[in-house]
């Protein structure tokens, strides 16, 4: 089985959020970047598990981004990807990223393409679906479980009020959510091996731009918290009714 995993780089979950250039750019000063957790913990690890279970195949990781994505790519290789591809262009928006990935993947015969549920910085959850459309493949977002038998994939996902079990034929694109796999910590051997694994840098296919983020802002500050003594807890319900007017 030939698997492609989409890997993106994001600020650490606890990073300070600030903007520069008149609030038009994220201020990356002093920020630690990590591999997007959905891509690393779930999409990549499940891809490796499926390859291991099949006893054959390959897992390729692909990143759209400049040379500053090096550490992210190395981490994917250290965790176990066989090889890595970097499309050498800054990732600016989802459609651009999807076009780049699709242009690379279209004639490579991948059986399965895995993306994360969303990037934890831009929270779009759209690249996977766009890649699927550009390659004319089925796509399931928010998958918390993925099994493959032959060319049939079984996917589970949380829907309001329960769990939905879906079946589809490969090739397909799947968006990985929590539950799909357990995080793997790269070991020393993996880290050493990553240094000699192939990393291919591919030029951009120059897709059209259709949208852009023009401005950032921080959300309005919260007012002070109103404390209610525990003995008078019932007053909370009263205040929610008369003051906040939410019940």
Ligand X SMILES: Nc1ncnc2c1ncn2[C@@H]1O[C@H](COP(=O)(O)O)[C@@H](O)[C@H]1O
- Which listed option, another protein, ligand X, ligand FAD, none, makes contact with residue 247 (CB within 5 to 8 Å by class)? another protein
Does 11 engage in binding with ligand FAD (CB under 6 A)? no
Closest CA to 73 of 46, 35, 19, 26: 35
Burial letters 201-239, b for 16+ CB under 10 A, else e = eeeeeebeeeeeeeebeeeeeeeeeeeeeeeeeeeeeee
Kindly report the CA angle at 25 between 21 and 28, in degrees rounded to 5? 105
- Residue 166 or 192 having the CB closest to another protein: 166
User: Min. distance of Cβ 176 from ligand FAD in angstroms?
Assistant: 14
Residue 2-41 contact track with ligand X, rule CB under 6 A, x = bound? ----xxx---------------------------x-xx--
The alpha-carbon radius of gyration of the chain (Å, integer) is 21
The residues that bridge with 26 in the sheet, in sequence order, are: 19
Does 179 engage in binding with ligand FAD (CB under 6 A)? no
Does 141 engage in binding with ligand X (CB under 6 A)? no
Does 14 engage in binding with ligand FAD (CB under 6 A)? no
Angstrom distance (rounded) from CA 212 to CA 205: 18
Does 13 engage in binding with ligand FAD (CB under 6 A)? yes
Residue 38-67 contact track with ligand X, rule CB under 6 A, x = bound? xx----------------------xxxx--
Residues contacting residue 175 through CB under 8 Å, at least 6 positions apart: 115, 116, 117, 125, 128, 129, 139, 140, 141, 142, 143
Angstrom distance (rounded) from CA 218 to CA 204: 33
User: Min. distance of Cβ 97 from ligand X in angstroms?
Assistant: 5
- Residue 60 or 119 having the CB closest to ligand X: 119
Contact present, 154 and 147 (Cβ < 8 Å): yes
Closest CA to 58 of 5, 97, 133: 5
Does 190 engage in binding with ligand FAD (CB under 6 A)? no
- Residue 70 or 111 having the CB closest to another protein: 111
- Which listed option, ligand FAD, ligand X, another protein, none, makes contact with residue 186 (CB within 5 to 8 Å by class)? none
Would you give the DSSP letter of residue 42?
I
> In the window 71-100, what residues touch ligand X (CB under 6 A)?
91, 94, 97
Instruction: For residue 171, say if its preceding peptide bond is cis, omega within 30 degrees of 0.
Output: yes
Does 37 engage in binding with ligand FAD (CB under 6 A)? yes
Which residues contribute to the site for ligand X (CB under 6 A)? 6-8, 36, 38-39, 62-65, 91, 94, 97, 115-116, 118-119, 122-128
Which residues contribute to the site for ligand FAD (CB under 6 A)? 13, 37
């Amino acid at each position: 089985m030939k698997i492609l995993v989409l890997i993106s780089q994001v600020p650490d979950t606890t990073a300070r959020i600030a903007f520069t250039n008149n609030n038009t750019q994220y201020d990356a000063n002093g920020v630690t970047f990590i591999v997007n957790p959905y891509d690393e913990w779930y999409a990549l690890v499940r891809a490796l598990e499926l390859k291991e279970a099949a006893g054959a195949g390959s897992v390729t990781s692909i990143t759209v981004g400049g040379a500053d994505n090096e550490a992210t790519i190395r981490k994917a290789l250290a965790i176990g990807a066989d090889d890595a591809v970097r499309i050498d262009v800054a990732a600016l928006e989802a459609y651009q990223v999807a076009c780049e990935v699709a242009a690379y993947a279209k004639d490579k015969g991948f059986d399965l393409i895995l993306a994360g549920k969303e990037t934890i910085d831009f929270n779009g959850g759209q690249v996977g679906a766009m890649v699927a459309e550009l390659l004319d493949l089925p796509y399931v977002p928010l998958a918390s479980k993925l099994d493959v038998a032959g060319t049939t994939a079984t996917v589970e996902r949380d829907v309001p009020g329960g769990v939905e079990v879906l079946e589809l034929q490969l090739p397909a694109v799947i968006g990985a959510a929590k539950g799909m796999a357990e995080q793997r910590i790269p070991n020393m051997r993996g880290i050493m091996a990553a240094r000699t694994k192939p990393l291919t840098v591919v030029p951009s296919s120059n897709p059209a731009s259709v949208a852009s983020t023009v401005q950032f802002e921080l959300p309005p500050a919260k007012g002070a918290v109103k404390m209610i003594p525990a003995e008078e807890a019932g007053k909370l319900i009263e205040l929610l009714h008369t003051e906040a007017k939410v019940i």
